[in-house]
Amino acid sequence: MVDKLLQLETLSDSGKPPKSRIADAKDASQIGDSLVYAGKDRSRWNARLKGMFDGNPPFSPEKLRAEAQAWRANVNFLEGKAASSAALVPYYDLFSGAKYYSRVQCNYYESPEQTEYCSNVITEEFDYLLKEYDGFDFNMQWMLGDFMRFGRGYLMWPDETDWRFHCTPQHKVFVPDGSDATPENLELLMVRQSYRVHELYKYIEDREAARTMGWDIDGVVNSIVNAMPESYSEPAANYTYEWVQQRIKDRDLLEGVRCSTVGARHLLVKEFDGKVSHFIVDEPRGPQKANRDAARSPVPQNFLYKNIGRFDDFRQIISTFFLETPDGSWNGAQGLGHDLYSMMALKDRLKCATIDLSFMRTGVTLQAKTAAAMQKASLTRFGPVNIIPPDFEVQQAGILGDIQAPLSADRMLDEVIMNNTGVYRQRQEKPQGNPRTAREVELQYQTQAVLSNSGVNRFYLQLDKCFAETYRRVVLSRNNTDEDFGSRKAREFIKRCVDRGVPEKAIRDVRCVLAYRNAGNGSIIMRQQNIRATMPFFGLLPENGKQNFLDYALSSINGQSMADLFNPKTRESKLPTEDASWAMLENSAIKVGAPVQWNPHQNDVIHAQIHLQAGAQAGASLEQGANPAEVAAFIDGIGQHTSVHLEHLKQSPMRQQEYKVLESQWKSIANLSDQLKKHLANMAQQDAQQQQKTSKAMTDEQIATMQARGEEQRANAKTDQQLRTGAAKTKQKLAIADLQAASDINRKNRMAMAEVKNNGANE
C-alpha cells in the first residue's frame, strides 16, 4: 500500500502562508488525477452495487456460452432493488409527510404572540417557496437514492447566493483518503461536472462581469468550441466504473447518441485563513473532433475559473447525508447496498439453480444407444403422440436434483438479510401453528416499516443544516435584481411575508431553521398507533392542543390536505388569547367609567384591535337607537386608552406598519367622537334656550317648585349613579378575580401535565 502526497502549497520557510494552496492549473489537474486514481477500487465496488440494483445477471453470459451452458437460468430477480425501494419509503416520508418541509423560528421580540405569528407566517411562505421549485422534490429523491444505496448523498449549490440546490451523484465527489465525514473538517473537495455548452456560456455571456468574478473568458470559449460527447476513451473515464454501469443500464454502451459537453473539475480547498477557494479546470478528454487538426493538451494550462476565499466554509457549498459512518470516515460510509450485495448474489444463484432443476425435472430424459444417434435427435409430435427417433431409449427415472434445499437456503438468507440491514430493521419470521391474528400482522408490519430513533435523529440533524443554508441564501438573494427564477421567487417570498405583517428584520433575524419533524419514524402505521395511545389523554389537553391533535390524527389517516379540509383554520378566531380576553374586560370597565391602566406585558396590537373594534360597534349602535350620550362617553374612553397603546407602538421601529393601520382606525373613531360631542353640545344648547323661554312664563312659585324638583332629581340621579358605579366596580373585580383564578388553575394543570409527562419519560 502506497499513499501519495497531494501537491498542496504549504507555509514558506519563514512561516508565511501562501496566497492559495493550489498554485496553478497544472497542479490542480494533477491533484484531480490523484483523487480519481485513488478512488478506483471504490468506483469498481460501487459499480457492482449499482449493477445489483440495476438488474445485472449473477453469471457472465459470455462465460456460460463459452462453457456450453447458455441454457441455464441467468436472472437477477431485483430483490435488492425492491429492498432499497422499501427502505426509501420511510425516509421520504420523514421529510415530505409532515405539514411543512421546515420550521423557521424567529428570534424573540416585542411579545411572544407576535414572535410566534411571524414564525408561522415565514414557515408557511418558505414552504410554499420550496414547493414552487420544480427541482426540489426531484433532487431530494435522487439524493435519497444515493444516501440509502451507497451510504452518502450530496446536495450542492452552484454559487454564493442561488438557493436552489442540486443533487450531485456520489461517484462524482472526491475527498482525500482519511477525511472525516463532516464538511467542517474538510481540507480538499473535488467535484466532477459535465456542462452542457449553453449552461457554461451563461456564465460568460456578460464578459465584463464574468471576468470580474474570476472567469477566464478565452479558456471557456475554447472549451465550448472543442466540446464533445463523453467517451470511454477519455483518460478520466478509465477508473469510472459507474460510468460504464450507467450505460449498461441505459442500453447505450455500444451504440449511442449524445450532445457535446464540457468536462470540468471543481476543486475547493481550505486556505490557511479558514476561507474556501474555488478553482475550475478542464477535465482531461480524448482526441478532438474529426474535423479538427490540433489535439487538446492533456494538461490544462490555465484555470477556467479562479476565486480565492470565495466561501466562508464548506457548508456553504455542500450539504452531506451519511447513512452509516461507524468509524467517522467519509470514504468509509456504507449504505444498504453493502449489506445486501453478498446475500443477493447468493439468492440469485440459488433461485437460478432451482429453476434449472425444475426445467430438468419437467423434461423427458432420453439415452442415446449409439454414437450416431445424436445426429438423429429430433422428437416428432403427431397430434397427442410423441414419436421418439430410433436408437434412443426413454429413461423412467427423473432427475433427482434436490429442489427443496435451495428453497430452504433462500428462506434462510431472507431472514438473515431482514435482520441485518442496518437502521432499517425489517424482520421476517416463518409462520408456525395456527394462522396469525390481524393484530399480530399489524405489529409485524409496524416493525418492518419503521426506522430506529437513532436513524431518524441522524437524518433530521443533517437535513436541518441543508434547510438552514437554503434559507440563508433565500434571504441573501432578496437583494438580487436578476430576473432568474431563484432571485425572482426570493423577492416574492419576502413580499408575501411583509404583506402579512412580518417586519423584514424578523425575516432576516431568525433563531433557527429546522426540518419539520414528522411523527411515527416514517411509518403511517406507527402514527396511527400513537393516535390510539394518546386518545385517553385527549380530555386533559387545552383547547389549542385538542385542535392540534385533531389535525395530526386527520393528516395521519387521510393526508395533510384532508386535515385542512375537515378542520379549517377559521376555528382559530373562536379561541381568544389571554390578551384578547383582558382587552374585552377592559372594554367593559370603560363602559361603566372604571379606570383602566396599561402595563408593559400587554400585546399593544391585539389590545388596540379589540378596543377599536368595540368603538366601531358602539358607533354603529346609534342607528338602532342607542343613547348618544352613553355612546359618546364610551368612545371617548376607548379613544383615550387606545392612544396609550398606539404611543408605545409608535416607539417600536418594527411595528410601524401595524401602527399606521391602527392609527387610521383610531382617527376614524376620534372623528366620530368629535361629531357626537358637537351634536350633544347643540342639543344641550337647544334645551337651555327652551328652558329659558319656559322659565319666563312661569311664576316665581312655579320656578321654586321646579327648582326643588330638579334638586331632588339630581340627588336621586347622583345616588343611583353611585350605586351603579359601585356595582360595576364590584362586578369588574369579581370578573378579574375569576379570570385570574381560571388562569392559575390552567397554569397548574399544565405544570401537572408536564410533570406527568416528565415522570413517564423518566420511567
For residue range 91-125, what is the model confidence (pLDDT) as tens digits? 888 888 888 999 999 986 667 778 888 999 999 99
In the predicted model, is pLDDT for residue 296 greater than 50? no
For 59-72, letters b (16+ CB in 10 Å) and e give beeeeeeeeeeeee
282 is a domain residue: yes
pLDDT band at 191 (very low <50, low <70, confident <90, very high): very high
Residues 470 and 485: their CA atoms lie apart, in Å, by 15
Residue pair 365/399 in contact (Cβ under 8 Å)? The answer is yes
- Percent of the chain residues past pLDDT 90, beyond the cut: 30
654 or 134, which is more confident? 134
Sheet holding 318-322, edge to edge: 166-168, 152-156, 318-322
Mean of the pLDDT values across residues 461-480?
Answer: 91
In the predicted model, is pLDDT for residue 290 greater than 50? no
Residues 748 and 690: their CA atoms lie apart, in Å, by 63
pLDDT tens per residue, range 587-629: 888 888 888 888 877 878 888 888 888 888 888 887 877 888 8
200 is a domain residue: yes
DSSP string, 247-299: HHHTT-SSS-----EEEEEEEEEE-TTS-EEEEEEEPP--S--TT--SPPPSS
**Could you tell me which residues are beta bridge partners of residue 153?**
321
Residue pair 350/406 in contact (Cβ under 8 Å)? The answer is yes
pLDDT tens per residue, range 656-680: 777 888 888 888 888 888 888 888 7
755 is a domain residue: yes
Q: In this predicted structure, what is the pLDDT of residue 425? A: 42
Q: In this predicted structure, what is the pLDDT of residue 463? A: 94
pLDDT tens per residue, range 227-257: 888 775 555 555 678 878 888 888 887 777 8
Q: In this predicted structure, what is the pLDDT of residue 123? A: 95
Residues 527 and 684: their CA atoms lie apart, in Å, by 71
pLDDT tens per residue, range 420-455: 564 344 444 555 555 666 555 555 545 554 566 677
Last residue of a domain, one of 314, 336, 367: 314
Please, which residues have CB within 8 angstroms of residue 450's CB and are 6 or more apart in sequence? 90, 520, 521, 522, 523, 525, 526
Q: How many Å separate Cα 242 from the centre of its chain? A: 29
pLDDT tens per residue, range 156-184: 998 888 999 999 999 999 999 999 999 98
Residues 560 and 551: their CA atoms lie apart, in Å, by 8
Q: In this predicted structure, what is the pLDDT of residue 207? A: 92
697 is a domain residue: yes
| 3-class secondary structure, 536 | helix
* Residue 142: other Cβ atoms inside 10 A: 18
> Which among 184, 197, 146, 79 is positioned nearest to 334, based on CA atoms?
146
Mean of the pLDDT values across residues 380-388?
Answer: 67
Mean of the pLDDT values across residues 285-299?
Answer: 47
For 170-209, letters b (16+ CB in 10 Å) and e give bbbbbbbbebebebeebbbbbbbbbbeeeebeebbeeeee
| Cα torsion 646, 652, 655, 656: sign | positive
pLDDT band at 58 (very low <50, low <70, confident <90, very high): very high
Q: In this predicted structure, what is the pLDDT of residue 299? A: 63
In the predicted model, is pLDDT for residue 639 greater than 70? yes
Q: In this predicted structure, what is the pLDDT of residue 288? A: 42
Question: What is the count of structural domains for the chain?
Answer: 2
531 or 492, which is more confident? 492
H or E element in which residue 365 lies? none
Q: In this predicted structure, what is the pLDDT of residue 217? A: 94
Structural domain containing residue 260? 1-38+167-176+183-314
pLDDT tens per residue, range 16-54: 999 999 999 999 999 999 999 999 999 999 999 999 999
254 is a domain residue: yes
Residues 211 and 218: their CA atoms lie apart, in Å, by 10
Gyration radius of the chain over CA positions = 40
Angle formed at CA 698 by CA 694 and CA 699, multiple of 5 degrees: 165
Average confidence score pLDDT of the chain: 80
Q: In this predicted structure, what is the pLDDT of residue 438? A: 55
Last residue of a domain, one of 253, 280, 314: 314
The three cell numbers locating residue 646: 398606539
371 is a domain residue: no
In the predicted model, is pLDDT for residue 88 greater than 80? yes
Q: In this predicted structure, what is the pLDDT of residue 86? A: 83
Q: In this predicted structure, what is the pLDDT of residue 761? A: 47
> Which among 14, 12, 15, 35 is positioned nearest to 23, based on CA atoms?
12
Residues 282 and 299: their CA atoms lie apart, in Å, by 8
- DSSP state, residue 71: T
In the predicted model, is pLDDT for residue 568 greater than 80? no
Q: In this predicted structure, what is the pLDDT of residue 277? A: 96
Q: In this predicted structure, what is the pLDDT of residue 48? A: 92
Last residue of a domain, one of 314, 348, 376: 314
Mean of the pLDDT values across residues 700-722?
Answer: 68
Mean of the pLDDT values across residues 407-415?
Answer: 72
- Percent of the chain residues past pLDDT 70, beyond the cut: 74
In the predicted model, is pLDDT for residue 574 greater than 50? no
142 is a domain residue: no
DSSP string, 170-227: GGGEE--TT-BSSGGG-SEEEEEEEEEHHHHHHHHSSHHHHHHHTB-HHHHHHHHHT-
- DSSP state, residue 626: -
Which of 204-218, 224-238, 609-623, 632-646 is predicted with the least confidence, judged by mean pLDDT?
224-238
456 is a domain residue: no
Q: In this predicted structure, what is the pLDDT of residue 739? A: 61
